[in-house]
Amino acid sequence: MSFSDQVVAGPVLPERPARGDGKTRVQFDLPARSMAILTELKEKMDATSYAEVIKNALKLYDGLITEVERGGEFMLRDKDGNVTSFRMFL
């Protein structure tokens, strides 16, 4: 399953004000396919919640974007040693 081309966000409800603990509750709708991917990632990561998966994904996404903005390029090496550019951010 590939997540990168399956994310289709539904309407995002307005954020609620931050709670006393500094957290903000956000609610959104996912298509069935995206929910299946989220569930699979939760199992693969042995995560305790969907929120944990989303938070980790946001950290990764933020890091990737930051490196691309700095001029970095991501390369993938397949099992045979072939290296190709990972062109996620066109």
Give the pLDDT score at 35: 96
| Both tokens assigned to 19 | 């709670």
DSSP reduced 3-state for 83: strand
Give the pLDDT score at 18: 60
Q: What is the Cα–Cα distance from 28 to 49, expressed in whole angstroms?
A: 16
H helices present in 4-85, as ranges = 32-45, 50-69
Give the pLDDT score at 13: 53
Q: What is the Cα–Cα distance from 64 to 30, expressed in whole angstroms?
A: 23
The burial of 50, by beta-carbon neighbours within 10 Å (0-12 exposed, 13-18 middle, 19 or more buried), is given as middle
- Per-residue confidence of the chain (90 residues) as pLDDT tens digits? 444 444 444 555 555 566 678 888 889 899 999 999 999 999 999 999 999 999 999 999 999 889 889 999 889 999 999 999 887 765
Domain boundaries, the chain: 1-90
Give the pLDDT score at 20: 74
